């Protein structure tokens, strides 16, 4: 089984289970659809660059902050790839000819990317949280407060 066939198998198994098992992602306080957590799989099925695949893997599995230009680049690229390969994705996502979930997943991906593109277009940086992950105290920078001192 080649790597794409493995990804297709994983995606089909995930979509067979309820989307309620997926973690929700808040991007700049906007709640993205549950299927947004599978954007990393979408980036691996589409011919996206390795850097974009890594970015979406990090995005869907951990809290983060990134430069808006970086986010715009990855989201616009993946959105274009999703549109260019829509038929392939629908074939991959459909378990039966009557399956309507494939269209829902695809629409959720496009909606998520559009939401992220819109938010990133109006600010210098963007943050997100994957709900259900424990907050790390190691990375706590004091809640954003800055204390200046003379050296």
| 97-133 pLDDT, tens digit each | 777 888 899 999 999 999 999 999 999 999 999 988 7
Secondary structure of residue 24 in the 3-state scheme: coil
Helix (H) or strand (E) holding 41: helix 39-45
Secondary structure of residue 133 in the 3-state scheme: coil
pLDDT at residue 16 in the model? 52
What is the token pair recorded at 58?
């990090």
- Tell me the C-alpha distance between 134 and 119, whole Å: 25
Secondary structure of residue 7 in the 3-state scheme: helix
Residue 12 vs residue 79, higher pLDDT? 79
**How many angstroms separate the Cα of 146 from the Cα of each of 26, 77, 139?**
25, 36, 15
Distance from chain centroid for Cα 76: 12
| 18-67 pLDDT, tens digit each | 555 788 999 999 999 999 999 998 998 888 999 999 999 999 999 999 99
- In contact, 74 and 60? CB cutoff 8 Å: no
- Tell me the C-alpha distance between 92 and 85, whole Å: 11
User: Long-range contacts for 97-104 (Cβ within 8 Å, ≥24 apart)?
Assistant: 101/15, 102/15, 104/35
């Amino acid at each position: 089984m080649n790597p794409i066939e493995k990804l297709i198998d994983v995606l089909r198994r995930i979509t067979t289970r309820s989307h309620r098992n997926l973690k929700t992602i808040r991007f700049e306080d906007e709640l993205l659809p549950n299927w947004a957590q599978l954007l990393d799989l979408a980036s691996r099925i589409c011919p996206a660059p390795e850097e974009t695949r890594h970015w979406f893997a990090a995005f869907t599995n951990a809290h983060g902050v990134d430069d808006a230009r970086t986010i715009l680049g990855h989201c616009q690229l993946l959105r274009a790839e999703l549109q260019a390969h829509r038929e392939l994705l629908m074939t991959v996502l459909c378990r039966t000819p009557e399956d309507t979930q494939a269209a829902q997943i695809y629409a959720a991906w496009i909606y998520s990317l559009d939401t992220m593109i819109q938010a990133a277009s109006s600010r210098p940086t963007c943050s997100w949280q994957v709900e259900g992950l424990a907050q790390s105290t190691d990375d706590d920078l004091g809640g954003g407060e800055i204390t200046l001192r003379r050296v």
